[in-house]
Amino acid sequence: MTNEKATRRYLGFLIPAAIAFIGASVAFKAADNAALLPPPALYAVSVVPVGIMLGMFWAHWRYMNEIDEFLRSIQVKAAFTGLIVVITLATGWGWLEFYADAPPLAIFWLNPLYWIAYSAAVLCFSPRDGAVS
């Protein structure tokens, strides 16, 4: 498989999945606000956005296996950067919540934060490593 085809396949899955995840999250919040579903049902329905999220990571995993080694090295660095940002912020903010009465941050935001940090890292590493000519 060519890199171009792998990228098209990846984005072809990721973009609709991201839209579905946002839609499911909004629907979830609306259902909760309107008290449409009892809490046990909300637990059950949460499988939908979580499943979509796992699908996004699966697509990312597949993409990293399909592209060539140089492009993969950029993806690995970017994914690791995303992980560093998420773990560091979660731990740092957690300490502030424990000891400095910082307002609680919902861990829901760690997933979008990961994707934002990962995307920013790809945009940073690609030209630096020569992947954009």
Pick 52 or 71: Cβ nearer other proteins: 71
**Taking the mean position of all CA atoms in its chain, how far away is CA 19?**
12
Is position 5 an interface residue for other proteins (rule: CB under 8 A)? no
9 or 28: CB nearest other proteins: 9
DSSP-derived secondary structure letter, 34: T
48 to 67, contacts with other proteins by CB under 8 A?
A: 67
Stretch that binds other proteins, among 50-58, 69-77, 79-87, 110-118 (CB under 8 A): 69-77
Among 68, 92, 97, 107, binds other proteins (CB under 8 A): 68
Question: Between residues 6 and 79, which has the closer beta carbon with respect to other proteins?
Answer: 6
DSSP H stretches of helix in 67-129: 69-99, 110-129
Binding residue for other proteins, selected from 52, 71, 78, 121, defined by CB under 8 A: 71
Q: What is the DSSP letter of 130?
A: T
Q: Is 127 buried (19+), middle (13-18) or exposed (0-12) by CB count in 10 A?
A: exposed
Coil, helix or strand for 28? helix
